[in-house]
Copies of this chain bind each other. A is one copy, B any other.
Amino acid sequence: MPTYKYPRPSLTVDCIVFGLDAELELKIMLIKRDIPPFEGEWAIPGGFVRMDETLEQAALRELQEETGIQNVFLEQLYTFGDLGRDPRDRVVSVAYYALINLVEQKVQASTDAREAYWFPLSKIPKLAFDHDQILQTAITRLRSKIRYEPIGFELLPRNFTLSQLQKLYEIIWNRSLDKRNFRKKILSMDLLLDTGEVQHNVSHRAAKLYQFDETKYLQLKDKGFNFEV
């Protein structure tokens, strides 16, 4: 057991995992706590940072262990360190947020013995610790970041329609957008690759499927281009 001259806060990472399902519903993953404190309540995935891993590695490891998620978009959100946020001890938590698509990434919610489920954003129960606050921060970040960075594509399948992309923005911003103006804006950036494919088995005109051209985006960005919706 290590001893230190001065007491140290303990350090955790916690992760808000946003997932978009086939019906374009935005959800987050919550885990039911099976030990005190807050036993039986819902919390976001997370855990202690080990000595031999970076913060990002810790977040990825926890995601992998608790949800089986791999290869995910992950970004640091904010560090929460108020006194009393954990009733046992002084705990500082570096929060991350992740974006995944639930159609292509089959996430087995329950892995350990623990219960883990996807909750629609509109039906989030009261959360353990200060996880409500972390979630609020993550939603705010997502709302503003999706405007200036092409991170929305992380939530969609690799091939997607323009209507799906528009609906994603409408869901996240909670307001409707004009279809023609949205398409003009997006297509004028010239960052979508027309796959030549269309939807199948839809009982209406089949929409074209596009891919986000990340290579092109990175090139343009180097030259000073700014993504903005």
Contact = CB atoms under 8 A, between A and B. Distances in A.
Contacts of A49: 9, 81, 92
Contacts of A199: none
Interface string A63-106: 00000000000001011011100000010101000000000000
Sorting the interface of chain A by its residue count into under 10, 10 to 19, 20 to 34 or 35 or more gives 20 to 34
Nearest to A6: B48
Chain A interface, >50% SS class: loop
B81 A54 contact: yes
A3 B1 contact: yes
A8 B53 CA distance: 12
A136 to B, nearest CB: 15
Contacts of A2: 3-4, 6-8
A11 B80 CA distance: 13
A79 B82 contact: no
A52 interface: yes
Contacts of A1: 3-5
Contact of A94 (B4, B8, B81, B83): B81
A55 interface: yes
A97 to B, nearest CB: 14
Contacts of A83: 52-54
A10 interface: yes
Nearest to A52: B83
A51 interface: yes
A53 B7 CA distance: 13
Contacts of A3: 1-3
Nearest to A2: B7
B52 A81 contact: no
10 contacts: A2-B6, A3-B3, A4-B4, A6-B48, A6-B50, A8-B10, A51-B90, A53-B83, A54-B83, A81-B94
